[in-house]
């Protein structure tokens, strides 16, 4: 584990690692903040050293598409916080997902995935991987039996999210991990909505953890980026993954798992998949993510508290049909929240307004503090009305199939004063009510 920062054997706490893991004062200048190594390439000491780097016999900087010191500090920090053996950063969350899967998949392979995933992920799995002849079975993620029965001999991964959207469903990670391992496949978890402060899936048996760093890790809505963390515990030589275990034609016959042991998957992810896909994280974005992570524990506490405050407020409003926050009384996910998310169930949830699409539109348009946009995990509070934006093309029937109604609103609760957030929502609710009242008056 990358938990130890010095040789004393002390395991530093999460908050300490959020500030220090992966970074020491710059050896060249003494700079205490992480320098932005804005360079494409690195001078080799001599040709022998260069050859050793390219043969992966020694670890050293060659070219910033593959590694960079600022990016490396970010990778090490996230690996430490997630309790993984290492990490590889990417230009976006979607690039990280694609790379994590490309590293283990071949045409004709199969994946089992949760049905209620981030929209971009569903599209990527279904259409992009579909084009490469990878088959996906989407299952009801709440049903362990659905995961189990969907597994086939060519299943190469189970894929889910810690906190799903828009239903706020919490994945029973330990149960699904056990099902995956029975079949000799890894469990991949997108932990973006929880962040490692609220949940560390590797501690519950997940093998690979993915983040869109764009969200809570960065925390300020400034940069796009992603990262893949691996536990180092999965046996890639179990016969199901010749792609990882056997000599690789793409790296002059190197057998990654045998050569690098617990680092085999990550080494292949970096020196083959990242090298060939080219979706490298920029050093500047890595610098901003490192800065963001320093305050992750403090921010998440406030995100969680504000989100609960907003959810409780909404649950009492007559214009609100239901609030889908996993930690509210009556939520079917309470036992799972208690087990996997004892510090809180995140800050992204949805609720349903009475009055359908029109009420939703009026609500959104009358908000002042809440920004109407397609992002989550920002210090600023964000709101979106799926029926008039991201899911605009869908009919009402198609919407409800995805758990989205005309009046569904998704919130990402930020760090502002709770009173101000409630004040603004109150204004939106009055605007929405004017629609329902008008409809009721016409009906009379």
Ligand X SMILES: *Cc1c(COP(=O)(O)O)cnc(C)c1O
Q: Which residues bind ligand X (CB under 6 A)?
A: 92-94, 118, 120-121, 161, 190, 192-193, 212, 214-215, 224, 226, 376
What own/partner pairs with CB < 8 Å and gap ≥ 24 does 222-225 have?
Answer: 222/288, 223/284, 223/285, 223/288, 223/289, 224/91, 224/92, 224/93, 224/285, 225/89, 225/90, 225/91, 225/92, 225/93, 225/281, 225/285, 225/286, 225/289
Cβ atoms < 10 Å from Cβ of 83:
18
CB of 357 to ligand X, least distance (A): 24
Q: How far is the CB of 271 from ligand X (least distance, A)?
A: 22
**Residue 298 C-beta: closest distance to ligand X, Å:** 21
Residue 363 CB, nearest approach to ligand X (Å): 22
Residue closer to ligand X (CB basis): 216 or 256: 216
Nearest position to ligand X, beta carbon: 93
ω into residue 285 within 30 of 0, thus cis?
Answer: no
Nearer to ligand X, 166 or 355 (CB): 166
Residues ≥6 apart with Cβ < 8 Å to 397? none
Largest CA distance in the chain: 87
For ligand X, the closer CB: 198 or 245: 198
For ligand X, the closer CB: 227 or 399: 227
What distance in Å separates the CA atoms of residue 207 and residue 257, rounded to the nearest whole number? 15
Tally Cβ neighbours within 10 Å of residue 101: 25
Q: What's the min distance (Å) between Cβ of 356 and ligand X?
A: 26
- Cβ proximity to ligand X, 68 vs 191, nearer residue: 191
Question: In this complex, which beta carbon is closest to ligand X, that of residue 240 or of residue 299?
Answer: 299
Residue number with CB closer to ligand X (119 or 309) = 119
Q: Which two tokens stand for residue 265?
A: 């998957």
Question: In the complex, what is the shortest distance from the CB of residue 156 to ligand X, in angstroms, rounded to a whole number?
Answer: 20
Q: 176, 188 in Cβ contact below 8 A?
A: no
Least distance (Å) between residue 224 CB and ligand X: 5
CB 219 within 8 A of CB 289: no
């Amino acid at each position: 584990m990358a938990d130890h920062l010095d040789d004393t054997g002390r395991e530093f706490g999460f908050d300490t690692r959020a500030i220090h893991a992966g970074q020491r004062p710059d050896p060249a200048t003494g700079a205490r903040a992480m320098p932005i190594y804005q360079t494409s390439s690195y001078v080799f000491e001599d040709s022998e050293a260069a050859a050793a780097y390219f043969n992966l016999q020694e670890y050293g900087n060659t070219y910033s598409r593959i590694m960079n010191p600022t990016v490396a500090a970010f990778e090490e920090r996230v690996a430490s916080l997630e309790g993984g053996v290492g990490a590889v950063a990417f230009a976006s969350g979607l690039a990280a997902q694609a790379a994590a899967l490309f590293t283990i998949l071949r045409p004709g392979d199969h994946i089992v995935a949760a049905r209620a995933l981030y929209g971009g992920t569903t599209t990527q799995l279904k259409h992009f991987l579909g084009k490469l002849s990878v088959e996906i079975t989407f299952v009801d993620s709440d049903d362990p039996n659905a995961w189990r029965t969907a597994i086939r001999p060519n299943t190469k991964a189970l894929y889910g999210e810690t906190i799903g959207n828009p239903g706020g469903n919490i994945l029973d990670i330990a149960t699904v991990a056990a099902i995956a391992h029975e079949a000799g496949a890894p469990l991949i978890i997108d932990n973006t909505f929880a962040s490692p402060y609220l949940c560390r899936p590797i501690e519950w048996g997940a093998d690979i953890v993915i983040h869109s760093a764009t969200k809570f890790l960065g925390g300020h809505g400034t940069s796009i980026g992603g990262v893949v963390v691996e536990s180092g515990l999965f046996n890639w030589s179990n016969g199901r993954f010749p792609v990882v275990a056997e000599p690789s034609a793409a790296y002059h016959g190197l057998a990654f798992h045998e050569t690098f042991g617990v680092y085999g998957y990550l080494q292949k992810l970096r020196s083959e998949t990242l090298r060939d896909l080219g979706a490298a994280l920029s050093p500047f974005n890595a610098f901003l993510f490192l800065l963001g992570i320093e305050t992750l524990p403090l921010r998440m506490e406030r995100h969680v508290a504000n989100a609960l405050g907003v959810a409780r407020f909404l649950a009492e409003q007559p214009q609100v049909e239901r609030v889908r926050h996993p930690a509210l009384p009556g939520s079917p996910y309470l036992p799972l929240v208690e087990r996997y998310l004892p510090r809180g169930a995140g800050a992204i949830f949805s609720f349903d307004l009475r009055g359908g699409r029109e009420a939703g539109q009026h609500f959104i348009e009358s908000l002042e503090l809440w920004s109407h946009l397609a992002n989550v995990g920002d210090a600023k509070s964000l709101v979106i009305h799926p029926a008039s934006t991201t899911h605009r093309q869908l009919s009402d029937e198609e919407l409800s199939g995805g758990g989205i109604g005309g009046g569904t609103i998704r919130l990402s609760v930020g760090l502002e004063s709770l009173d101000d957030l409630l004040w603004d929502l109150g204004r939106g609710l009055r605007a929405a009510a004017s629609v329902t009242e008008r409809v009721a008056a016409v009906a009379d």
